[in-house]
Amino acid sequence: IKNYSSSTSGFILLGLSSNPQLQKPLFAIFFTMYLVTMMGNMLIILAIRSDSRLHTPMYFFLSNLSFMDICFTMVIVPKMLVNLQSETKTISYLGCLVQMYFFMAFGNTDSYLLASMAIDRLVAICNPFHYDVVMNPRRCLLMLLGSCTISYLHALLRVLLISRLSFCASHVIKHFFCDTQPVLKLSCSDTSSSQIVVMTETLAVIVTPFLCVLFSYIRIIITVLRIPSAAGRWKAFSTCGSHLTVVALFYGSIIYVYFRPLSMYSVVKDRVATVTYTVVTPMLNPFIYSLRNKDMKRGLGKLRDRIHS
């Protein structure tokens, strides 16, 4: 480890705001959001596990998405809450790399799971008679394992890249967690090659599932528009509404944060966008997937009845 200041004293996370009067209100808001995220996603998982009618590929991916959202949130929010109540707001060098690794691993797995769910909707709408054959349990499991493997390897590559940099001067991270761009900003090494590698492999890992989602929905739209009845078209589109909402929230904020040069990095704007996909989206997912979904409502009702009995 060549980093003198970072390896000995770690980093200081500046957090969401340096205003002391905002620390307690921010703690209350994000602690509430954290509890809602944990409870909501746990209920989704338990409802799917307890209702045999929800043992389908779509809900298999949804339950795993909820599990990843729980893990994703646990990597970021607890440390942020501790820092909101602390005056030091420090994180060790190793702790920063570990947080960065799991943040990227779980976040990228979310991205691939959203792509898998788009493929599921594509097969269900465009090739319904072969749905059970194409989306069989073995293939779904392979898609999940592939999503995890690619994401974890990508995260490892990114962390190894960051670990080779030197941090000689400031070690104050202008963010509420160890993200790539704020950490790169602190390095006194030449980061031009690192930025190229980061942008290239981010394009490969993030854009690939995004394009998969995009092409899947282009095919779905073409197929649905061929349905003669308006009721049939609405029914087909309604099965995709929840997924499209989550995709728009997740990819919209990620593209804004990561697909810009380091010179265009803005602390305030990036914090808002990052809060969207690290805290807001995992909290909203259970509501988006259950409020307009009759199957999920029935599953949650059955779970409530079981708990009461």
How many other C-beta atoms can be found within 10 angstroms of the C-beta atom of residue 144? 17
User: Mean pLDDT throughout 10-30?
Assistant: 87
Q: What are the structural domains, with CATH classification, of the chain?
A: 11-308 (1.20.1070.10)
* Least confident among 112-126, 133-147, 222-236: 222-236
Q: Are 11 and 178 in contact (CB under 8 A)?
A: yes
How buried is 161 (Cβ within 10 angstroms: 0-12 exposed, 13-18 middle, 19+ buried)?
Answer: middle
- Edge-to-edge strands, sheet with 11-13: 90-91, 11-13, 172-173
pLDDT in tens, 59-71: 999 999 999 999 9
Mean pLDDT score of the chain, rounded to an integer?
84
Give residue 78's pLDDT.
93
Cα 257–chain centre separation = 13
Q: Which two tokens stand for residue 59?
A: 């809900």
The residues near 110 (Cβ < 8 Å, ≥ 6 apart) are: 65, 68, 69, 72, 250
